[in-house]
Chain A
Amino acid sequence: MVLVLVLVVVLAVLLAATALVVSTRSRRQRNAVAGSSASRPPTGTLLLEQQTAQPSPDTVDSDLRELAERDLAEGEAAEQLRAGRPALGDRLGKARQLLGGYLTGIRSKPVDGATFDELEEALLLADAGVTTTTKVLEDLRAKVRSGAVAGTPEALLAALRSDLEAIFDGDESAMSLGEDGGPTVWLFVGVNGVGKTTTIGKVAARELAEGRKVVLAAGDTFRAAAGEQLEAWAERTGATLVRGAEGADPSSVIFDAVAHAAARGSDLVLADTAGRLHTKVNLMEELRKVRRIADRPPGHLTEVLLVLDATTGQNGVVQAKQFRDAVGVTGVVLTKLDGTAKGGVVLAIRSELGLPIKLVGVGEGVADLVDFDPAEFVAALLG
């Protein structure tokens, strides 16, 4: 508390000084930026008022759904869905061919310091981070020294693989559904551009294929055309869409969606949210509210899924921590793993923050979503 006090004053003095220095400049520019300096549009606070003020929820009606189902039935996506969920390994062929043989070099040589250097390189290049890499390799060295792991390249790699897999021990990739009496709500959160909306589309297709009735809540009322994007997914998958006006309070849209789902006896509400950087205090505050409302009866919020781009570097840990602290993330969806990025940052996210990885996105198609599998993930990481 003392610290806060001192810090605020120090900052106040510093900022006051800088603000003064720049105030002449900013005053000159003020006219130019006046229009753009407003933050996000004000959001409503009273739900009931919002409900009457908003246009009634758009609903994708049944013939659209039929249309979408027909489309789907003709596509290979439907076949894939019917044939069971695709495995991660199958989907990574292309990217891994390019990277293949990365560690083959060490297989043909006796184990020495250079072997560990190569392993270190592989892990660092996979975005595993310095801390995780160092720890994993130190453990491995100790095992070799104590004789628990034989000093052959094969034994070393096998031990490394099982150590990395062990990071995910005890995780359950299945997502939880609430008890009877009211729809289950899954909330999707994350920074901008990670693939939240696309992930929702794929999850919707998957859950519909399981025979659940799915409602999509267009809770991203900020980004231009985010609602339209989700609408396209609703049409493609045959899920029902509930959306509000652009700039509407996201909480109210999600509340409407839950109410709609409850009234129609739907099982599951997939709630989209606007992408936000974890450093934006106001937006994280808004997300807290969204989370509270999403859990309000008749809905049961059972999953808060952090969508994370596999190309993300070490900042992913910070993101995960901030979102976890703000809205209690229950699991991570790792997207865009079909590229050359290996998503090693989830090792740190799992080991440092304890967040399980649940799903993996491997493309833009409706079926490009697989359950997270530690063995496959690690094989791909080291492959």
Chain B
Amino acid sequence: MFETLTDRFEGIVARLRSRGHLSDSDVSEVLREIRVALLEADVNLAVVKDLIEAIRSRCVGAELAKSLSPAQQVIKVVDEELTRILGGEPLKIRYASKPPTIVLLAGLQGAGKTTVAAKLARWFKQQGRQPLLVAADLQRPAAVEQLRILGRDVGATVFSETTDPVSVAREGVAEAERLGRDIVILDTAGRLAIDDALMAEVRAISEVTRPDYTLFVVDAMTGQDAVRTAEAFNEALALDGVILTKVDGDARGGAALSVKQVVGKPIAFISTGERPSDFETFYPDRLARRILGMGDVLSLIEKAEREYDSDVAEKATERLMSGQFSLDDFLEQLQQIKRIGPLQSMLGMLPGVPKDFRNAKIDDKDVGRIEAIIKSMTPDERRGAVALDGSRRSRIATGSGTSAAEVNNLLRQFKEMQKMVRTLGPVNRLVGGAGRKPHKGKQKGSRFTPSSRGAR
């Protein structure tokens, strides 16, 4: 849906290619595209304006390195500027000399505070700390119950009372002292920045508990309003850092940039899923690339790491290299990849994919058809042990509800693909070098048992 910055540049690049430096008007044209890209990524308009000026001053008249095209260099400058804003001093948790260290979470409704509270508790436990969760959200029905369940899941005690949020917070801290817990995480109700009564309440909680860290929890999908909200919370509470949630979606997350710029406090953590472990330290360069729509390979790798069965992958790669990659293996890969996400969205994460390819629509039905065709084959046929004559092909077509032409097409493409893969020298070397060592024993086995899928 969104054109990436790289797409936008393609038209301009052609004209700029022959130049040794960028003129004023070249830069203006490029900057207009950058502006649109940033706005589509939900970076706040005011922040976009500042950024554009910063980028302009760096680009005009700058000498260009030979190895990069002018457009690439501009992107590089943009990337660096974004990373600079997003980065800076990371949030380093300093534990209070007199425990407990108190962390207050605040934000709008539905930003994900309660989930983050539990994830943060788990994180502190991993640091060898003993957190106490305090449920001070008495506003939303069953919010306390939610934190209790999540606390149980991560193995952290949850404190709450049915009094009022301020005294719950105060008593929570007292309880932590009594129990000898060294961390207190205060979960508060979601509130609008313009709700005076609720903002006064959260200020009161802050005054009573004197938190060491006040963290603003913000949804990565937030639009232009993120700035106003963050400013208001910063004024009321003096924030120490930001936690960005729902980063596992496909929002570009420009709001994070705006909030960082306005509040001037580091983004401490990102929340990347619904499981307690989906919680990570923040890397500014990755988000910068994502805002630019430049393909987030690192995230793809991490996703793959989480979802992809590396044993299966290793085996498939070995077979691929040795030219034994069969339709069975292909099917297996297809299913693995589908677990990671829709092909279309993964296409977007790959850098350097040609524009036509990247913008092509991938129909899930096509994927389904390919699966159906392969699944309609016998094991021997999938392995390529028998020649697929006309009658076998028409049987497969009938079995999969497709046409003989589609079956032929798939087989032909598959053959070409096998040829193509054999020419992928560099990848082979890379993979070969990394993969063989730990798996000597399995190599032999995999050659003779093409289908070990039963094991999974």
Q: Hey, which bits of chain A sit against chain B, CB under 8 A?
A: 1-27, 33, 36-37, 40, 94-95, 98, 121, 124-127, 129-130, 191-195, 198, 222-229, 231-233, 236, 277-282, 309, 311-319, 321, 336, 338-342, 344-345, 364
Contact status A94-B249, CB under 8 Å: no
B192: Cβ under 8 A from any A Cβ:
yes
**Shortest beta-carbon distance, A312 to chain B, in Å?**
5
Contact status B314-A16, CB under 8 Å: yes
Q: Which residues of A contact B225 (CB under 8 A)?
A: 127, 311, 339-342
| CA–CA, A78 and B236, complex, Å | 34
Q: Hey, which bits of chain B sit against chain A, CB under 8 A?
A: 1-2, 36, 39-42, 45, 108-112, 139-143, 145-150, 153, 192-194, 219, 221-226, 228-229, 246, 248-252, 254-255, 274-277, 300-301, 304-306, 308, 310, 313-314, 316-317, 320, 330, 333-334, 336-343, 345-347, 350, 357, 360, 362-363, 366-367, 369-370, 406, 409-410, 413-414, 417, 420-421, 424, 427, 430-431, 434-435, 438
Q: Which residues of A contact B276 (CB under 8 A)?
A: 36
Contact status B274-A192, CB under 8 Å: yes
| CA–CA, A9 and B366, complex, Å | 15
| CA–CA, A225 and B145, complex, Å | 6
Which among B110, B345, B347, B363 is the interface contact of A193 at CB below 8 angstroms?
B110
**Best-buried of A1, A8, A17, A313 by chain B (most CB within 10 Å):** A313
Which among B228, B314, B339, B434 is the interface contact of A340 at CB below 8 angstroms?
B228
Interface of A is mostly: helix
**Shortest beta-carbon distance, B343 to chain A, in Å?**
6
| CA–CA, A282 and B110, complex, Å | 23
Q: Which residues of A contact B330 (CB under 8 A)?
A: 8-9, 12
Contact status A17-B141, CB under 8 Å: no
Contact status B108-A311, CB under 8 Å: yes
**Shortest beta-carbon distance, A103 to chain B, in Å?**
15
Which among B2, B142, B193, B369 is the interface contact of A339 at CB below 8 angstroms?
B193
Q: Which residues of A contact B301 (CB under 8 A)?
A: 18, 22
Q: A1-B369, A224-B150, A225-B145 are in contact. Are A18 and B224 (CB under 8 A)?
A: no
| CA–CA, A2 and B110, complex, Å | 42
Q: A314-B40, A314-B41 are in contact. Are A340 and B193 (CB under 8 A)?
A: yes
| CA–CA, A17 and B369, complex, Å | 27
Contact status A315-B310, CB under 8 Å: no
Q: Tell me the nearest residue of chain A to B342, going by C-beta.
A: A281
Q: A7-B347, A129-B40, A315-B251 are in contact. Are A17 and B430 (CB under 8 A)?
A: yes
| CA–CA, A47 and B274, complex, Å | 26
| CA–CA, A228 and B140, complex, Å | 11
**Shortest beta-carbon distance, B139 to chain A, in Å?**
7
Q: A2-B409, A225-B149 are in contact. Are A231 and B142 (CB under 8 A)?
A: yes
Q: Which residues of A contact B340 (CB under 8 A)?
A: 15
